[in-house]
Structure 1
């Protein structure tokens, strides 16, 4: 589940960088995929070789997020996170820890919080 959290955080970071750098929509995929490393970079390079450079870089940010979510956030893991969210309780007096975990889970379990 750690990888799921890291992926969501990467999405958020990229969107903030797009905003503060005024990154144009047509450059978002080039910029964001440049920041990939290890397994994600291998996955991306394989995808580019399969579909071609022009097709890969013509995809939208929403499409890339969906592809990466499908690859790195298996449905079974999301179900575990949803169950954790439903059963989340404050441990002792750690309201701050509870709130932080609730916020993380709420971001990960988007089906539970459509808008």
Structure 2
């Protein structure tokens, strides 16, 4: 399972994902770093079979309209402590493993629930 963390996602989450035994890269280390357009990020994620993790609502809209990116985890939690976000990922890693096998999906993580389709 492979993850691509968008610009506003903490490096700490990316490192935690790696410590759990999965591949994780941060947008700030590929392409044009933080200058990379959303479209380029989504295409990179899709062509390399990454799950994109983002707080950016534009990715949700793009997924709903164009299925781009194909695999998206949308964080709707604002600026929560990194430890909380990391705990959410640790707790739900089996769900992400299950969904990873699908051709496309979106997961939305809100304060009180996790919704996926």
Q: Shorter-chain TM-score: what band?
A: under 0.3
- Is the strand fraction higher in 1 or 2? 2
Report which of the two structures shows the higher radius of gyration computed on alpha carbons: 1
Greater relative contact order (Cα 8 A, min sep 6): structure 1 or 2?
A: 1
- Could you say which structure has the higher helix fraction? 1
TM-score normalised by the chain length of structure 2: 0.27
Normalising by structure 1, we get a TM-score of: 0.27
